[in-house]
Amino acid sequence: MVKRKSAVIACVLVFFVAAACTAMVAIPGTVFFLNIYQKRSPVAVEDGAQDLDYDLLAEISSYVQSYSIWAGDADILTRNAAQGIAYADNDVYAQYYTPEDYAELQQQQEGNYVGIGVSVSTDTTDGLVVVRDVYDDSPAAQAGIQVGDKILSVDAVDVTVLTMDELVDLVRGEAGTQVTLGLLRGADEVSVTVTRNEVIQHRTLWAMKDDGIGYIRITEFNGNAYTLFVQAVQELTAQNARGIILDLRNNPGGMQDIVVPIADILLPKGPVLSLVDRDGNLVDEDTSDSNYWGIPLVVLVNEYTASAAELLSGSIQDYEMGTIVGVTTYGKGVAQSFYPLSNGGVLKITATKYLTGGGHCPQDVGITPDIEVELPDEVYEDYTNRFCNPDYDAQYAAALGELARLIDAAPAA
């Protein structure tokens, strides 16, 4: 089985255009566990510490603006310099957002935007951009775009030689306009025309399966994930669900204030999340109360399960509230904070490590499943028809078997 971890974490993008404007940015932040703090003031550099050489930066800027044939305006130089400083400490999750970028990020997190309704990443096996998710009832779904499709062209422009940002620029547009994508689907090349429109992304999906088995999938911990999770719990309970499969595969993480209340529904009284700073000091802690669902539970994870999804699955494992099935998760145990800037922009940097309810940090190690099951490549190749089909999806089939065991072992009501 080909490991796809590096491809997914390198760049997961959502094709969208903010309703208030026609610009679009590539947002890698959906793969990260984000924590928004109150506004803080910059801290003065301590005596003896090495401060930035602002004279050197100004000198370089002068040469670039005076002589470079690719020189941009001052705003572009400022933006690139700010991003460079954010990255300077090897913080791969750092990001500088202009005010416009941050407004679009917030819209993307809420899940209501204008676009085609897919998320994509670069497949490191061939360098092509591949569709990782197609949102329900989106323009892309209506046009027949499928998970696993690889984008070869946009409006007849070959995008296999373009950067991700350049490809994104071609896909963007206003509501009501069309874009034609040339796709590689298996061994066949197909052309699909999509009409850009408003997309409402449902972050939690659920259904009642056979034998009283409830199925809940959380795609990421943003937007309406918590509200819909509560609705899922209510409806499945009303339908007398005997057990639940919680699918966190391909879930890249999300927001602290979304994942914590979901964890509170599933976990008994105790810590859910602890945040520690670079010196090991506890800076924040969330706990659950004594009220919880208490239904037999199996959690599906894979190598794309990251960050906040690892927090939830790891805490469920710590409290022995369910069985974890799949493969070892991505291994991201750090959280990012947003700091508002004087120009209206925002700086995102990695400010804390997080610990699961049992005090474990999954950074670089991930969450090890209780039952390890690989997902066959054929499921990725025909994701639409074989995902959650027990005849093909070995992880889902194993979850069904384990859940049946848990239900049989549960004390009678």
Tell me the two tokens of residue 255: 């927001």
Residue that has been written with the tokens 């993480």 in this structure = 253
CA–CA gap between residue 248 and residue 154 (Å, rounded): 31
Catalytic residue, chosen from 119, 307, 313, 337, is 307
Specify whether the CB–CB gap between 314 and 356 falls below 8 A: yes
CA–CA gap between residue 5 and residue 27 (Å, rounded): 18
Catalytic residue, chosen from 121, 318, 337, 348, is 318
* Residue 332 a catalytic site member: yes
**DSSP SS3 for 127:** coil
Catalytic residue, chosen from 138, 332, 348, 393, is 332
Backbone phi, then psi, for 57, in 5-degree steps? -60, -40
- Closest residue by Cα to residue 382 from 366, 395, 393: 393
> What residues contact 393, with CB distance under 8 A and at least 6 apart?
375, 379, 386, 387
Provide the Cα torsion 74, 77, 80, 82; round to 10°.
-70
* Residue 307 a catalytic site member: yes
Q: How many CB atoms lie within 10 A of CB 220?
A: 30
Tell me the two tokens of residue 199: 């997309």
Maximum CA extent, the chain: 79
34: β partners:
255, 336
* Residue 337 a catalytic site member: no
The runs of H, that is alpha helices, within 267-376 are 308-318
Which sequence positions are flagged as catalytic? 307, 318, 332
